[in-house]
């Protein structure tokens, strides 16, 4: 929306893009901010009378996050928890400025801790806003980045356990049903399944972006990612199978930390559980979604991966997802034995559902768009990542020798 349009048509509901968004509790403050925006010739503004809840509802609908959000807590009964709810729908890159009536250092500190960039107490004046919000010598630029997104590393204890299924569905659910901005990276440089699972076309954006990490701004990101419904963005590559190019691990680390500034979730579908690129992702992750299945081999590899995630400097919580990608037979480990063997309970158990999984894989849309038991279980994984605290403490130290089946296997191999 142009400046003229935005001034001539102030009641338009949700603009396609807004660079500066403000919700003020009273008419006088709203007018002051409007005059400030006009004086600074700000394009793409959205300034309304409203409270934190109005701002939260608006931000959840907005497809592209603004540069700056001004929100007024003077009518909020529970300002901090209302702001926490706002932070949930507000991409980490947004500079948030809070307006209030109290001039209180304790409150200011608390707000800074939450990632708010500035607190301004009323009454508002154009001079004050210019000094603190914009114009030469403004206090608020650059943003100090307290809020950053979460990297979720999806890794499998062995091949074919359902890592890509979990990554695709959790990303889809968080973007479509929980209103989070999500970027999903298929880390298989030779063409992983993500484009097929989500019905998109590979544009080789991952290779491109790894070569130009330093140039990663909003416009470049929009050009290199494939967008799916406004909140989900995909980065994939499809190098020739005989391409010798290795993954640039330093660039990958940089890419992830840059993406975390722009998205609530960076979800990586890892094709391997070993090697330098895999280790870098596990190290950078805020959560490792470890997908496994109840088999002896998967139990051994699960235990090894848990040890890797938990003994590194950055202790990463592990969400253990026990999937059943195959119909269980008589030789399978019972879930209880499996949990006993790895020394912890699964955070989530996904049921076997061949029809839903293969329909989603071959025809689309992803499983979570349907209603079956597998869809519900996958949604719960996403909800867990979006909110509930993860239980990351092992029940007890794991030892292979404790489990009769594994002991038998080790003795047999010795
Ligand atoms: N709970 C389930 N019930 C039935 N089929 C499933 C289930 N989970 C996954 N599958 C199917 O199992 C196959 C492997 O799943 P997926 O590709 O997600 O695994 P992966 O761990 O990413 O494999 P890879 O090692 O090849 O990367 C797919 O055909 C998928 O549809
Ligand atoms: Mg896979």
How large is the C-alpha radius of gyration of the chain? 24
Return the pLDDT at 16. Answer: 65
- pLDDT, position 156: 98
Q: 318-323 and 95-100 as β-strands: parallel, antiparallel, unpaired? A: unpaired
382 within 8 A of 176, measured Cβ to Cβ: no
pLDDT mean by block of 10 residues, the chain; 414 residues: 42 68 96 92 91 93 88 92 87 89 81 85 90 61 61 97 98 93 96 94 93 85 88 94 88 94 94 94 94 95 92 82 90 88 93 95 93 95 77 41 44 39
Residues 6+ apart with CB under 8 A from 97: 68, 69, 70, 71, 116, 117, 118, 119, 120, 132, 133, 140
For 69, the token pair is 């959000």
332 neighbors 298 (Cβ within 8 angstroms): no
Most ligand 1 atoms within 8 A of CB, residue of 163, 165, 196, 360 to mutate: 165
Q: Whose CA is nearest to atom 7 of ligand 1?
A: 325
- State how far the Cα of 64 lies from the Cα of 292, in Å rounded to an integer: 35
| Spatial contact of 269 and 187, defined as CB atoms under 8 Å apart | yes
d(CA 410, CA 414): 6
List Cβ neighbours of 102 (8 Å cut-off, separation of 6 or more): 121
- What's the pLDDT at 161? 97
Helix, coil or strand: residue 321: strand
Cα(358)–Cα(49) distance, integer angstroms: 49
pLDDT of residue 3: 40
The whole-number pLDDT of residue 11 equals 42
pLDDT of residue 97: 92
Which residue ranges form the domains of the chain, and what is each CATH number?
A: 3-133 (3.40.50.2300), 150-413 (3.40.50.300)
In the structure, which protein residues have their CB atom closer than 6 angstroms to any atom of ligand 1? 156, 159-165, 193, 271, 323-325, 350, 352-354, 357-358, 361, 374
pLDDT value of position 91: 85
Q: What is the pTM of this model?
A: 0.79
For tokens 């047999």, the residue is: 412
Residues 6+ apart with CB under 8 A from 29: 72, 99, 122, 123, 124
Rounded to whole angstroms, the Cα distance separating 161 from 92 reads 32
């Amino acid at each position: 929306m142009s400046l003229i349009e935005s001034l001539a048509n102030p009641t338009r509901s949700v603009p396609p893009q807004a660079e500066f968004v403000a919700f003020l509790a009273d008419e006088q403050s709203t007018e002051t901010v409007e005059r400030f925006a006009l004086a600074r010739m700000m394009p793409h503004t959205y300034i309304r009378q409203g409270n934190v809840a109005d701002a939260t509802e608006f931000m959840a609908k907005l497809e592209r996050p603004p540069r700056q959000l001004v929100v007024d807590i003077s009518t909020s009964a529970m300002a901090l928890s209302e702001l926490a709810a706002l932070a949930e729908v507000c991409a980490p890159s947004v500079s948030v400025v809070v307006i209030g009536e109290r001039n209180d250092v304790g409150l200011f500190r608390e707000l800074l801790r939450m990632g708010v960039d500035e607190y301004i107490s009323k009454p508002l004046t154009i001079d004050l806003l210019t000094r603190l919000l914009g114009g030469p010598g403004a206090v608020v630029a650059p943003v100090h980045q307290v809020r950053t997104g979460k990297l979720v590393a999806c890794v499998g204890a062995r091949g074919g356990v359902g890592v890509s299924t979990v990554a695709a569905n959790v990303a889809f659910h968080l973007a479509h049903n929980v209103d989070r901005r999500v970027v999903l990276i298929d880390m298989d440089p030779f063409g992983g399944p993500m484009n097929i699972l989500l019905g998109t076309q590979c544009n080789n954006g991952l290779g491109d972006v790894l070569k130009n990490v330093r140039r990663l701004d909003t416009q470049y990101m929009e050009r290199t990612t494939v967008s799916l419904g406004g909140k989900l963005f995909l980065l994939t590559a499809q190098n020739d199978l005989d391409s010798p190019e290795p993954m640039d691990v330093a660039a990958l680390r940089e890419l992830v930390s840059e993406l975390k500034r722009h998205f609530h979730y960076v979800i990586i579908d890892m094709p391997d559980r070993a090697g330098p690129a895999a280790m870098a992702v596990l190290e950078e992750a805020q959560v490792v979604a470890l997908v496994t299945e109840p088999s002896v081999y998967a139990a051994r590899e699960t235990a090894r991966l848990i040890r890797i995630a938990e003994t590194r400097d950055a202790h990463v919580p592990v969400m253990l997802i026990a999937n059943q990608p195959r119909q269980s037979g008589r030789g399978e480990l019972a879930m209880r034995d499996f949990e006993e063997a790895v020394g912890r309970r699964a955070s989530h158990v996904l049921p076997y559902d061949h029809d839903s999984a293969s329909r989603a894989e071959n025809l689309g849309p992803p499983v979570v768009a349907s209603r079956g038991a597998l869809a519900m279980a996958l949604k719960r994984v996403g909800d867990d990542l979006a909110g509930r605290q993860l239980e990351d403490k092992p029940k007890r130290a794991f030892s292979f020798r404790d489990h009769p089946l594994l002991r038998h296997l080790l003795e047999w191999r010795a």
